[in-house]
Amino acid sequence: MYLIAGLGNPDKKYQYTRHNTGFMALDALADKLSCEVREKRFKGLCGQAFYKGEKLLLLKPMTYMNLSGESIAAAASFYRLEPSQIIVLYDDINFDCGRLRIRGSGSAGGHNGMKSIIGCLGSDAFPRVRIGVGGLGEHEDLVTHVLGRFSSDDMEIMKKVFSEAADAALCIVDDGVAEAMNRYNGSRID
């Protein structure tokens, strides 16, 4: 079994912001799996699917970004999952729009949602799909940037990236993190 979580903020005003990239990627995955992510559990919205005989729990924490770990740790504890069975999809300002970076473990890199997950799980040894949302503008602060919306051109790119991120998560399930890294790291979607 795998828990695949997409990070974001629950309020409608955040729906299409850069910080909700994880939610949008999880929606793309749910579409691929014909799964609805609506059940209220674990301080989040859940859906269950089967993929090539593997049970998947899709989760959107409704705790707001900075407390994402509470939701993910609750689900992981309930299902007795190891960190290696948890895949997290989230935004990353260190990469341009259109880039993915898969890692099997690592630090939070300044991302508050990831800090929360690492703190609540007591481990950073879980796979993650980092989705580039572009860096800060010249006179832009971090909060304004991540809570801002994509331009229409960038959103067209990101729709393709969400699908790629979903495929990357399924590749981790199918073939492992190393194969997903080989297949998806460094590629750029335009």
Instruction: Specify whether the CB–CB gap between 146 and 18 falls below 8 A.
Output: yes
Other C-beta atoms lying within 10 Å of the C-beta of residue 145: 17
Decide if 19 is catalytic.
yes
The residues, any chain, with a CB within 8 Å of residue 109's CB and separated by 6 or more, are 92, 94
Q: What are the tokens at 178?
A: 């190393």
What type of residue sits at position 121? L
Q: How far is CA 156 from CA 83, 92, 98, 146, 176, in A?
A: 33, 18, 10, 18, 29
The catalytic position among 19, 111, 139, 145 is 19
Assign 26 to helix, strand or coil.
helix
Q: Where do we find the tokens 């790291």?
A: 185
Residues with a known catalytic role:
19
